[in-house]
Structure 1
Amino acid sequence: MRLRNKPWAKDKLDSHPEIVVRNPEQFKGKWHEVFGNKNPIHIEVGTGKGQFVSGMAELNADINYIGIELFESVIVTALDKALEKDVRNLRLLNENAMDLTKIFDRDEISRVYLNFSDPWPKIRHAKRRLTHSNFLDLYKEILIPEGEIHFKTDNQGLFEYSLQSFSEYGLLLTFVSLDLHKSEFGPNIMTEYEEKFSNKGQRIYRSEVRYLNK
């Protein structure tokens, strides 16, 4: 996907420190202080334009949410959604997912959401997939013992790869749907991609897993 350059994005992000946290490493182990409460913290890795994470924050006031997105030109739209909904339990990080353990302490996060991640279909790019064992190592370190990973995608190949990756890593599969929108699962906050693909009649795949040896 080609991203449209938004030269004004950085200034806009910088103008809202109450939502966009710069230099988040300084808050490692202190994220409850950022939110001012002891509520569970859920993160979305690859938050995109923020429809999911802002919707979840609006729906669940007793949970703190952090959306993480690498591209300024994308996360600035997530900022707009957060401002529109006026959710106080949401923060956004313009950071690389590879830096999760620099940002969060051990056992600091209760849930990780992976929604419509880049499938990186070429075999040589497998290590970039957010369900690769390298990333599972990172999630394991920051998740509490009973923490979970919730994963959604429209890409059957990525879903099959991810289930295999979870299994080989030794994760426990606690939920799986091969056609989420025809299941009884709910409530389901959709991402922008999910709406687009669902409207075309494509299946949405979803799974939930947790670590057995935390």
Structure 2
Amino acid sequence: MGLTHIRTPKNFDLDERIERYADAIERNAPAYAGRWAEACWQLDTDAACGTGFTRVHLDLGCGKGTFIAQCARRDPDTLFIGMDVEPICIAYAAQRIVEEGLRNAVVVPLGAQALPRIFGTGELAAITLNFPTPHPKRHHAAKRLVNVDHLLLYRPLLAASGTVTLRTDSLPLWEYAKGQFDAAGYDTQWVSADVRHEHPGFPETEYEQRLTERGAAVYGICATPGQEPDETRIEAGRAAEQSLMCYLPDDLSSLDYVPLGMEAAVENFRNRERKGKARIPGSRS
């Protein structure tokens, strides 16, 4: 959720916290592939109980669980699954779920590459990507949750009308993602440069609140799988410019907020412009 690493707070016993809130942490997620909606609290691999849930919603990169907790309170008929690779995030999200007594939320300590082992075909009604780490450098592009290969990974797991929704404070990531969604054969439901006002139904995360207080806009894309893309279309997405530096606006003075991880690059570009030099050595200004 925007950070590549979260430092352990002082006097924070991670192992103790994980153990205390273990009821909300599912470590055997592949056991539920294809039948998450029929599972119930506590999740049981041997038998389902009750009537199950009507939908399964994945929050990929769930952070500290603010988003799924608010969603779970609002929509008790949907099972909300938060996934994150950061143990501290898992601990905080599990604590929130347990202490709030949410029976329709659980967290999974795995990343995107595990998705095909965890979910069955057409099982997910929605995937949200809330403020994913932009990974602005070209050689880190494979880590982006909105690159064409990740978007192709999600396709078979989504229901026919299932959606992938990106929300980000990074204008360059948003601009990059538009082409990647197209390359992966998605049909956009909406594209917004001001999600907070145009689509106000999203619960606000702690991270988002801190960003907006600093003047950040929230950009977004909501899309659903369309016709399967051919290899030419996919390769075009892979061949697209992968450095997010190239998706910055031409007029850097219009950039009131600098996205996470791009501060040094933007300052360097501004210095070059003040000296009348091209933004990138060897390029045209």
TM-score, scaled relative to structure 2: 0.70
- The answer as to 2:211 corresponding to 1:197 is yes
- C-alpha displacement at 1:17, in angstroms? 4.2
- The answer as to 2:175 corresponding to 1:172 is no
- The answer as to 2:129 corresponding to 1:117 is no
Aligned pairs (5 A) from 1:35-46: 35=40, 36=49, 37-46=52-61
Which structure 2 segments of 5+ residues have no match?
Answer: 41-48, 229-285
- The answer as to 2:82 corresponding to 1:77 is no
Higher alpha-carbon Rg: 2
* CA root-mean-square deviation: 1.7
Determine helix, strand or coil for the equivalent of 1:18: helix
1:117-140 deviations in whole A, cap 9, x for unaligned?
Answer: 000000111111000111112211
CA distance in 2 between counterparts of 1:21 and 1:14 reads 12
Check whether the contact 1:114–1:151 (CA below 8 A) recurs between aligned residues: yes
Check whether the contact 1:101–1:142 (CA below 8 A) recurs between aligned residues: yes
Query: Which of 6, 10, 14 pairs up with 1:9?
Result: 14
- C-alpha displacement at 1:11, in angstroms? 4.2
Q: Which has the higher strand share?
A: 1
Query: Which of 205, 227, 236 pairs up with 1:213?
Result: 227
Check whether the contact 1:28–1:103 (CA below 8 A) recurs between aligned residues: yes
Check whether the contact 1:14–1:20 (CA below 8 A) recurs between aligned residues: no
Q: How many aligned positions are there?
A: 213
Aligned pairs (5 A) from 1:61-72: 61-72=76-87
Check whether the contact 2:61–2:84 (CA below 8 A) recurs between aligned residues: yes
Residue 145 of structure 2: aligned partner? 130
Residue 87 of structure 1: aligned partner? 102
Letter in 1 for 2:32: F
Residue 46 of structure 2: aligned partner? none
Letter in 1 for 2:219: Y
CA distance in 2 between counterparts of 1:157 and 1:68 reads 25
Determine helix, strand or coil for the equivalent of 2:8: coil
Cα distance change of structure 1 residues 11 and 23 upon mapping to structure 2, 3 Å threshold: farther
Determine helix, strand or coil for the equivalent of 2:196: helix
